[in-house]
Structure 1
């Protein structure tokens, strides 16, 4: 990974990616009514979502002696709520063989997300956008409904994910001075893309970036991400972070993001759902 930062700054970027992502997951999980654990060596939010990604273990500093016990504790809690769940295993977790231990307990490895970050002072704002593209902030429930409907047309688990996320955002509300802001792009008057900005842990986290298939390769994903980051910079943030899909990786690189870590995803599903 080509990076213009020294080792200390690189570690700081990794810590900011972790902190914002964890706050993002905790905030939505709490709104869903999830059960939270924050003890020495472990942290999770479980039971508040129908989605494995959001019933999650987000911190685990474990030893060879207690790793299996903690994994089993997380499974028992998932079973009690009868929901799928996940461990988000980043470079901040241990022991080194955590992934293989999760697999031994019935988790499956679902791939990895590149953890990316950007000094907003180096944000590339010179990107081309299609004519007649309008990007707006979501400010009320009607606009959020359109945002969620657009997200549900292909992001992640489709309508199930979009409906749950939309419901959580409805609970959070539309405070202009809050930590959450959502963006909807319209092209030729039709909604075609979404993004969310979460100003958690002092940095700007980008989430739920999605463009309808028929509107891709036009620069719309870059444009809506740029709009969110420009707002974040205006509000005083100096760093942007995100977890990228393979499709979005080159888009974020053009904006100036660089990869600093990998977050491995391990998922568990109740036996009656397999």
Structure 2
């Protein structure tokens, strides 16, 4: 496991947010069999997923002279694999006008994630939850199937994304020694919420936080996020990070998270009608 980050200066936290997201995307993409390019100026994983978010360029330190060539090379890779793709443009990526060049080449702005972080020594010990709500760690394939079905009821790309992610997590393994830990929230025995913890780049990343609409505004999203953070703290991690939507921002603020950066997403569409790299469409 990576050495735990202890430096909580703002530049170090910003770097840690980008590094955890990058490692998260690369690890899932490798499990999917994506093609990786890892050079000093650029890094990507493309071809292993059915959705643009996970066929992605994750690092770029390009110049005004090299940026267009690199963008065209990524497009050629998307097209060769017949998948949609993306660039995840964080604050360390260069050149400064990278987003403008991506749009000029036909990419579409896909919104941004707010890079947030919290010192795990400051998180609350508990939050208010409704009667009958419990949180379970996912330890076997049956529990992972329920987790996947719950995620697929509206998160992101819906069933397509949930099925692929569930398959990747099954490949990665569900033991306590793995980098991923998954959480399922049940309210009166019914599955209503999900979250995943990814231990990478020395910090604890929170992903796939999802609450079914009828169960929202009950403190459930905060509770399942806190459970994952507390597990990371018990394992010796100091910093928790996540990418927040505008909808989740206030929830994470109440847990002590602060915004440190934004990661902008630029998407490339695909003419492919299906995806045969994994079993999601079988």
TM-score range, shorter chain: over 0.9
Write 1 or 2 for the structure with the bigger share of helix: 1
Name the structure 1 match of 2:172: 172
Give matches, 1:35-46, under 5 Å: 35-46=35-46
How many angstroms apart in 2 are the aligned matches of 1:214 and 1:264?
Answer: 30
Partner of 2:227: 227
Secondary structure, aligned partner of 1:208: strand
Residue-by-residue CA offset, 1:232-251 (whole Å, 9 max, x unaligned): 00011000000001111111
Instruction: Tell me the distance in 2 between the aligned counterparts of 1:21 and 1:111.
Output: 16
Query: Is residue 112 of structure 1 aligned with residue 112 of structure 2?
Result: yes
Q: Distance in 2 between matches of 1:232 and 1:272?
A: 39
Q: Which runs of 4+ in 1 moved over 6 A?
A: none
Aligned to 2:15: 15
Q: Is 1:139 the equivalent of 2:139?
A: yes
Partner SS, residue 200 of structure 2? coil
CA contact 1:193–1:209 (8 Å) conserved in 2: yes
- Give the count of matched residue pairs: 267
**Of 213-222 and 175-184, the range deviating more from structure 2:** 175-184
Structure 1 spans left out of the alignment, 5+ residues:
1-7
Contact 2:112 2:262 in 1 (8 A): yes
Matched residues in 2 for 1:28 and 1:270: separation?
A: 20
User: Does residue 1:201 correspond to 2:201, yes or no?
Assistant: yes
* SS across alignment from 2:237: coil
The structural deviation recorded for 1:271 is: 4.5
CA distance in 2: counterparts of 1:117 and 1:168, whole angstroms: 26
Which residue does 1:241 correspond to in 2?
241
In 2, are the aligned partners of 1:124 and 1:254 still within 8 Å (CA)? Answer: no
For 1:4, the equivalent position in structure 2 comes to none
Instruction: Check 1:30–1:272 CA distance in 2 against 1; reply closer, same or farther (3 A cut).
Output: closer
Query: How far apart in 1 are the matches of 2:197 and 2:31?
Result: 17
Q: Deviations over 1:36-69 (max 9, x none)?
A: 0110110000000011000000000000000000
Whole-angstrom CA distance in 2 between matches of 1:20 and 1:155: 21
For residue 124 of structure 1, report the CA deviation from its aligned partner: 2.4
Q: Classify the secondary structure of the residue corresponding to 1:153.
A: coil
The TM-score, its normalising length taken from structure 1, stands at 0.96
CA distance in 2, matches of 1:199, 1:112: 23
Partner SS, residue 256 of structure 1? coil
- The 2-side partners of 1:165 and 1:143 are apart by 14
Q: Does 1:163 align with 2:163?
A: yes
* Counterpart-to-counterpart distance in 2, 1:110 and 1:153: 21
Shift in alpha-carbon separation, 1:56–1:96, aligned structure 2, 3 A: same
Q: Distance in 1 between matches of 2:272 and 2:22?
A: 29
Partner of 2:83, secondary structure, is coil
Shift of 1:270: 2.2
User: Which residue of the partner structure matches residue 48 of structure 1?
Assistant: 48
Distance 1:260 1:254 in 2: 16
Contact 2:83 2:272 in 1 (8 A): no
Change (3 A) 1:272 1:174: closer
Residues 76-115 of structure 1 aligned to structure 2 (within 5 Å): 76-115=76-115
